[in-house]
Amino acid sequence: MEPASYGLTATADLCDSHGEAARVCEIPFRDFGGVTAFSGTAATIRCFEDNTQVRTVLETAGHGRVLVVDAGGSLRCAMLGDNLAQLALDNGWVGVVMYGCVRDAAVLSTLPLGVKALGTHPRRSEKRGGGEVDVPVAFGGVTFTPGERIFADEDGVIVLQGEE
C-alpha cells in the first residue's frame, strides 16, 4: 500500500493549509484498493443498487480522474468489483470513492487503484440502466461537484475547488 506522503499532499496537511476551504467528508471510508492515497478531478454518479452508469463512465477515458459514486449508502449489494476496477485502470482512472459497497476485495487490494467504500457485499447490483451522471452528489456533509479536486488518503476524503 502506498503511503499518503508518496507524491501527494496529505489530507491533514491540506486541511491545515486551506482551513474551511478544505471540505472534509465525514464518512469513515475503508480502503479496498492497492493504493490508499490518490487525488484527481471529480466525476460523479448518483445511482442506487444499479451500477449500469458506473460501468458506462469507467468505460470512458479517466484522464487521472476520481469517480465519486453516491450509491445511497446501500449495504445490500456491491456497486464495484474486480472487473469494473480493472476497467477503471485500463481507462486511466486513479480512484473511486463509493458511498456504498464493493466486492472482490481480495483482488481489489492487489490493483494499483484507489478504492474507498463503506464495506463489502458479495451480491452484485442490478442492471436497470438507472442513475445520473455528472450531477452534484452529497454525502458525509459534503457536496461533490464534477470538476472539483478530490484528495483521499488513510485519514479520509476532502474536496478542494481548483487545482492543488
More confident residue, 73 or 163: 73
User: d(Cα 164, Cα 158) in Å, to the nearest integer?
Assistant: 12
Say which residue, 124 or 129, is predicted with more confidence.
124
pLDDT at 7: 56
CA–CA distance, 147 with 65 (Å, rounded to integer): 9
Mean of pLDDT over the chain: 93
What cell was used for 141? 456533509
Q: Residues 105-121: what's their mean pLDDT?
A: 98
Whether 1 has a pLDDT exceeding 80, the answer reads no
Reported pTM: 0.93
DSSP for residue 34: S
